[in-house]
Structure 1
Amino acid sequence: MEGTIDISPALFRDIAITISLLLLATYAVSRIVFPKMFAATYDFSKFLNFKLKDEFGSNLRLLSTESFYFTLILSASLSFVLLILIYGLNQIGEAAFVSWLIPTGFWAGLLIWLGVTASFQLIFLIKYLFIALVGVLFNLPASTSRHFQEVQSLNNCFVLAVTLVCTVVIYSNFMIPQILINGIIIVTLIYLLYRSLNIYLKLEQLKLYSKLYIFSYLCSTEIIPAIVGIKLLT
């Protein structure tokens, strides 16, 4: 098929299974070594609650070792999901614009995964610094970073769920079903909109933020990047 980059389904499956095993082992070790922190980070009840609680954004201290560790797991999981998505798009000839992310060998695949993981980690750092800068410009208190932590907590839960779904599919198929690709894109779009609404309502309840700040933050760091990202993948 024109625009499709040749890669053995068996090769990609080996790469994906290896990465998924590394991720699952990391999640398991984290659950055993940091039980309380793990439970707080992957608290799915936050998806069902729009009310502000005392622990809003207070699970992890930003730029701490614990925050870096769980953000790294998030980045690695996101990288895995992205590679699955790109491989699925490549099957239908829609991944030519990111052909450099299609592995040509087993070790090349792992290196690409690590490289994309590092890129996501850098993006999260830049995003935090940007939010901190906006807080300074709007002369808001230092506690404004709490919403970034809340966003990351929701991200951790969502990406974990998608990672588990992708893992099950990889274990049972050599090819990525088109329904999975469409499902990831549609569910991600719904999640991003829901997350923006969730965070907006919680930020408003803090009584520390102007509506202008909340709107500017969500547009510049959440909504616009999400629309651009979804557009590129469709």
Structure 2
Amino acid sequence: MITGPRPSLPERTAAARLIVVLRGERADQYAPVLETLASAGIRSVELTLTTAGTLEELPPLLERFCEQLDIGVGTVTDPADLRTAAERGAHFIVTPITRADLLEFAAEAGIAIVPGGLTPSELHEGWAAGAAAVKVFPASVVGPAYLKDLRGPFPGIRVIPSGGVDLEAAAAWLQAGAEAVSVGGPLVGDALKGGDLEALAERAARFVGVTTREAGA
């Protein structure tokens, strides 16, 4: 159970209400995509550990983009990786699972963590342990109405849906009260495989238009 103040998501991420998930083959593919996303108004990204070299590339990417983007590290399932990500400057941690040791390490490191789950028990476990928010994954299985169900027994829970969240679903989840939305393929498309960066910028701008706090207020 949480005993001190609950960590918060970084300010830019909280205001943007949108985390763009980048999952590619190699971390050296990140930079042009990050440049395009930042120029299109994206303010928060999650670099995934299933992308080879992510932890190695994290420091130079932070140095280059930290004035424009919050950069978190996702798909974290091992405490050693969490510690490395925190030591190398990650702004937040995302994990697809709810594991006590990950939450404990995040608390010790003083870094916001968003653990994943689907059932009420999993989501409550992460929230009660001090998560900044909990990730409903895969969100497409339950839909935005699930948030109202969760808020019955857990009125203060902060939820970030992930998995199959397209533009329409992003708007619906935020209208239902989600803290933010986590979006991968519907926004990123084939950009990490050499796809059209102008098309990426257009998709990003559409998402920004429905997710930023000013636009959604």
TM range (shorter): under 0.3
**Relative CO higher for 1 or 2, CA cutoff 8 Å, sep ≥ 6?**
1
- When you count strand as a share of all residues, which structure comes out higher? 2
- When you count helix as a share of all residues, which structure comes out higher? 1
Normalization by structure 2: what TM-score? 0.26
Give the structure with higher Rg (CA): 1
Normalization by structure 1: what TM-score? 0.25
